[in-house]
Structure 1
Amino acid sequence: MTVPNPRAESDSDVASLYIDGAWRPSASGRRLAVHDPASGALIGWAGAGGAEDATAAVAAAATAFPGWAARTAYERSAYLYEAYRLMLERSEDLAKLMTTEQGKPLRAARAEVRYAADFLIWFAEEAKRMYGQTIPSARADQRFLVMHQPIGVVGAITPWNYPISMITRKLAPALAAGCTVVLKPAEQTPLCAIEVFRILDEVGLPPGVANLITCEDPVPVGEVLLTDPAVGKLTFTGSTEVGKLLARGAADQMKRVSLELGGHAPFIVFEDADPAHAAKGASLVKFLNTGQACICPNRLFVHRSIKDRFVETLRDRVAAMRAGSGFTEGVSVGPLIDEAAYERMTRQVGDAVAKGALLVAGGRRLTGADVDGGYFYAPTVLTEVTPEMDIYREETFGPIAPIIVFDDEDEVIAMANDTRYGLASYVYTRDLSRALRVSEALRFGMIGINDINPTSAAAPFGGVKESGLGREGAHEGLLEYLETKLVGISI
């Protein structure tokens, strides 16, 4: 696998937009430089698409929609099965590209590619399960038939932190349902998106069914997806602030939207839990993807009676973490995505310490021959964190673990729910009754009980409150791309 034209001599050499079944440069001829966040090195180029390209992609998707929707579920399923096979066949190349472009350790990149492939095969199977129903009528001469049909053209916008799996999590159900798609990947990770679309091209997906617009400025492309009446649905994964803007814009045409937005996950450790086991779990999920995941814990609530043992174990595990290039053996912490992310870490830690938090580990930019070229921030542990601190309210999206003590169940539930976000949450306890009580009381879309990975292609993923609308994955993920139609028949 090679990145597209990494040494392109002119803007017109970069044919990385995929529209109507063909690779082409952007209409403007402009290109986007792609850099390795671990070293700052230039690794390739992508076309910098704009409104004209997005309009052409929407038109192609609208033209392709009737034919794609008319295909049987078994035919659509076959394309996804073949894409699944090719993705697994190329998994090592895809993982290496992801580590180069996004920065995560190679081991984590390999796991993401497998996760991405899971969505392809799951929805290849779900395509054949779009069941309808019949409903009895009060009239003897009437029958009701309920069927599900594809919405139409879907505009999909995906993030940089999981640059392959977030694509398949949207593309696979949309294609399975019979929709056509225009996808805009994150500006930081266009190369991973291009390779996913190479797979779709090679499996022979009909022209216009899936279209890719790489870009440097997302606003013109987003405006087309919002305002073009041919787009029936918008699906977005990213920040809450951008999600709200898209939801407002979509409302003008009553477009369907599904939004997977920010999180501020609580990680609650009750007094009956094993503090060392809980701290191990916290270290694995808090520093997952360098903390750059919407399900990473943002507030670690630890019962006062076990706080010292928890902090000691977490501190020791953090001290053993190695940061650096994802290609280096033993590295578990990669770079932050950009300078803005580093500045957010610096600001949040500085604010917390100024307001009384204790810095147990980290709290600084990493330096040295292996990390000077990238945005590496030391895995950080803070204690004595209080609600007055920015980190207690703001999504961190980085490798900082703030610890808050609590004394009783009702208190910690109130503190955990005291956020505008509602995506993931975690509870460590050995008490089954407590686990059920707390699960019912927490206002979050997903809860892990002694489990740091309550996710799967087969499970619904999504949040409540300002963490989003709708669900991805599972059967619910397919329903997001279907309209319900009622047919009343007089006999």
Structure 2
Amino acid sequence: MPLLAASAEMPVPGSAEPLLIGGRPVQGDGAEITVTNPADGSPIGTVHASSPAQVSEAVAAARRALADSGWAGLQPHQRARVLGRAADEVERQVDHLAELQMLENGKTRTESRAQALSAAGILRYYAAVCECSEEQVPPSRGAYFNMTVYEPYGVVAALTPWNSPLTMGAQKLGPALAAGNAVVLKAAETTTFVTLALARCLVDAGLPEGLVSVVTGGVETAVALTGDPGVDLISFTGGTEAGQSIARKAADRLLPLILELGGKSPHIVFADADLKAAAKAVASGIFGGTGQSCVAGSRLFVEGSVAEEFTALLVAEAEAMRVGPPSDPQSTLGPIASFAHRERVEGYVAKGLAEGGHIITGGRRPEGASYDAGAYYLPTIIGGVSNRATVAQEEIFGPVLCLMRFEDEAGLIADANDSAFGLAAGIWTADYRRAWRVARALEAGTVWINTYKQLSIAAPFGGFKLSGSGREKGLQGMRSYQQAKSLYWGL
């Protein structure tokens, strides 16, 4: 076991971490999972997966909790008070939560702390949305008074990914609970400890027992949870193939879905752009978080007349990024989240070279004894590939950028939209008319103009095409967890 401080708030070497079933700590009765630190390969701790029976127990406990607690019937300000206290608890534990995320998925301590604070902000935002959201009075078309009210679905099955468990967890727990639901949250196998710790902040804040449970495990656990007849809505963030599988099975029950899936986002640089600012944004937009972001700008389109100049600026930005231990404040990038995922990334780079591409920078593991034990990989730029190449069409989810040139706006838009995905896009230009034209023409749920990865919890977020359906964040994000009901009062 690693040399990890044993405390009430950290995994204890030699003991399995309990799950959270019905609001209480319960040992999983499935297979043992060893959670590994990708920075050095050492085991962090163990947890047992939830058996299908435990998943069913968690769903049943959620349904009982809704009935017994009266959560859905509380006044909005009463639910908001609990979410506000939960935000306070997350802030109190911010360093602990950041440390757990850093250990489990390799994000730098700096980024992990920022995401822990963001999780607190998300809960606080939905406390405010809950208290201040208004129901509607549509105009009547006869001798009646018309009202639209919103009611919770009931039990939400929420499945979060390993890349950003703090923010993704809060983005599901916050609006779902604010809307009056109970939540059974499935943690990713590799980020179980931080997900459990986040959920316990809600319990510690006074959330009625059973309204939140955390189950863990792999495909078997996901299948059991999404297929449980007691689930009323599924909210999933993760890979497109998994999302499609969930959607197919949910179709038989016409179960409502919120799906935030993969991306292959185009990042576009026109010749009139501020090239230095664009180079910084392109580099951070793909290499930040070691490229393990659904909105990573992984397809770069540069106008031909400035392609060489911009490439030089971009390479300088990429090579200035320091890859190192995530606990080192000097590290810009930590390791990839697992050794298996690094192999997947390396496989894609090999495919890119086989398809005629060439390495502009990176394309290998960093050298040195300090890197040998971890899942490190250098920021990589591949040139010489077409937009139809495998590396330009499939989501790599790693620090790999495909650099392509364009010569005219029409061809650019065609190539940018020539993708199964449509999650995000970025545009750099000094021409606001062009920015408007291109932004409206791009098939993407979020378009950044002269910025990138500028996210707000107050703005709806989601994708087009195979990047998903439904929206998270904003008032719309809470409404996604509610059903609209029309009331007619005869006069």
Range class of TM-score, shorter chain: over 0.9
User: Does residue 85 of structure 2 align to residue 103 of structure 1?
Assistant: no
User: Does residue 460 of structure 2 align to residue 474 of structure 1?
Assistant: no
> 1:241 Cα shift?
0.4
Q: Distance in 1 between matches of 2:356 and 2:252?
A: 46
Structure 1 contact 234–255 (Cα < 8 Å) conserved: yes
Q: Distance in 1 between matches of 2:427 and 2:79?
A: 40
User: What SS does the corresponding residue of 1:134 show, helix, strand or coil?
Assistant: coil
Identity within the alignment, % = 37
Match of 2:4 in 1: none
Match of 1:203 in 2: 205
User: What SS does the corresponding residue of 1:189 show, helix, strand or coil?
Assistant: helix
Match of 2:336 in 1: 336
Aligned residues: 483
**One-letter identity of the residue aligned with 1:53:** Q
Q: Distance in 2 between matches of 1:403 and 1:431?
A: 23
Q: String of CA shifts for 1:332-356, please: whole Å, max 9, x gaps.
A: 1111122332223222222222333
> 1:15 Cα shift?
4.9
Matches within 5 A, 1:22-421: 22-28=24-30, 30-66=31-67, 67-140=70-143, 142-215=144-217, 217-219=218-220, 221-421=221-421
Structure 2 contact 83–126 (Cα < 8 Å) conserved: yes
Structure 2 contact 28–47 (Cα < 8 Å) conserved: no
Structure 1 contact 4–44 (Cα < 8 Å) conserved: no
Q: String of CA shifts for 1:446-479, please: whole Å, max 9, x gaps.
A: 0000111231111111111000011111111011
Q: String of CA shifts for 1:181-234, please: whole Å, max 9, x gaps.
A: 00001001001011112211211211111111122x332x22332332221100
User: What SS does the corresponding residue of 2:370 show, helix, strand or coil?
Assistant: coil
Structure 1 contact 4–46 (Cα < 8 Å) conserved: no
Q: Distance in 2 between matches of 1:473 and 1:256?
A: 17
User: What SS does the corresponding residue of 1:139 show, helix, strand or coil?
Assistant: coil
**One-letter identity of the residue aligned with 1:41:** S
User: What SS does the corresponding residue of 1:425 show, helix, strand or coil?
Assistant: strand
Match of 2:21 in 1: 19
> 1:392 Cα shift?
1.2
> 1:27 Cα shift?
3.4
User: What SS does the corresponding residue of 2:165 show, helix, strand or coil?
Assistant: coil
Which sections of structure 2, spanning at least 5 residues, go unmatched? 1-6
The CA RMSD measured in Å over matched residues stands at: 1.5
Structure 2 contact 17–45 (Cα < 8 Å) conserved: no
**One-letter identity of the residue aligned with 2:266:** P
Q: Distance in 1 between matches of 2:112 and 2:417?
A: 32
Q: 177-186 or 316-325: which moved more?
A: 316-325
What is the TM-score normalised by the length of structure 2? 0.95
Structure 1 contact 276–309 (Cα < 8 Å) conserved: no
Match of 2:465 in 1: 465
> 1:4 Cα shift?
5.4
Match of 2:488 in 1: 488
User: What SS does the corresponding residue of 1:156 show, helix, strand or coil?
Assistant: strand
What is the TM-score normalised by the length of structure 1? 0.95
Give runs of ≥4 in structure 1 deviating > 3 Å. Answer: 1-5, 135-139
Q: Distance in 1 between matches of 2:17 and 2:8?
A: 14
> 1:19 Cα shift?
1.6
User: What SS does the corresponding residue of 1:262 show, helix, strand or coil?
Assistant: coil
> 1:33 Cα shift?
1.3
Q: 30-39 or 185-194: which moved more?
A: 30-39
Q: Distance in 2 between matches of 1:169 and 1:249?
A: 24
Q: Distance in 2 between matches of 1:194 and 1:347?
A: 33
> 1:360 Cα shift?
1.3
Q: Distance in 1 between matches of 2:443 and 2:484?
A: 28
Match of 1:454 in 2: 454
Change over 3 Å in CA distance of 1:282–1:2 after alignment to 2: farther
Match of 2:13 in 1: 7
**One-letter identity of the residue aligned with 1:471:** R
Match of 2:3 in 1: none
Q: String of CA shifts for 1:90-110, please: whole Å, max 9, x gaps.
A: 212211221111101111111
**One-letter identity of the residue aligned with 1:46:** V
Q: Distance in 1 between matches of 2:84 and 2:106?
A: 29
